[in-house]
Amino acid sequence: MKPLQQFDAEALYLELARQIKAAIVNLDRVAIVGIYSGGAWLAERLVSDCQISNSVGYIDVSFYRDDYAQKGLHADVKPSQIPFPVDGATIILVDDILFTGRTTRAAINELFDYGRPAQILLATLVDRGGRELPYAADFVAQTLTLPTNLSLALTREVAADQTSHLVLSLVDLNDQDSQDGNDNSQPSVL
């Protein structure tokens, strides 16, 4: 989809990382879990930039979504990987865009299948409003209010030297004619 506007996703990431670094100073057993795909990209960087000793965890909520019966299984299901003990840990659950809260609910349900954390803190690059469930992020880089026909797409672009950077685009979901043909960016759209 052709972007209507682009945001400085790298600046937003730095703000999110700053908030998390400040908050975890006095916390024990901190671990970061990213929700595929945009949240996973953010989580990978946060583990390194916030000097988290646990490896990054990944959650794919496909089987935990409450709309699974209506929408079916997403074609790109990835395995969830939690490489640390969840019991008693402080989990920072990372998603790229917080919208209805349904993905957050599904991720929390799946986390409890791995154990009982001491607490779960939610981090998101953008809170776009439109909540259907009572979830709020503890760490938010940007808050926007968008009409339902507009959405945000986070992409990770990898350069020839294997460095990557994030791009956040505003797209119109009704604009079916503006496919750009660039499949290398793997958008996470919400």
Reduced to 3 states (helix: H, G, I; strand: E, B; else coil), residue 144 is coil
Amino acid (1-letter code) at residue 117: P
Task: Give residue-wise pLDDT tens across range 50-87.
Answer: 999 999 999 999 888 776 556 666 667 889 999 999 99
Total-model pTM? 0.88
DSSP 131: -
Position 185 confidence tier, pLDDT thresholds 50, 70, 90: very low
Residue 7 has pLDDT above 70, yes or no: yes
- Measured distance CA(17)–CA(23) in Å, rounded: 10
Position 187 confidence tier, pLDDT thresholds 50, 70, 90: low
Task: Dump strand ranges (E) for the chain.
Answer: 3-7, 30-35, 57-59, 90-98, 119-127, 139-143, 150-158, 164-172, 188-189
Q: Domain of 129?
A: 3-189
Position 12 confidence tier, pLDDT thresholds 50, 70, 90: very high
Average pLDDT rounded to a whole number, residues 140-152: 95
What is the secondary structure of 71-116 as a DSSP string? Answer: H---TT----B--S--TT-EEEEEEEEESSSHHHHHHHHHHHHH--
The enclosing domain of 89 has a CATH number of 3.40.50.2020
Domain total for the chain?
Answer: 1
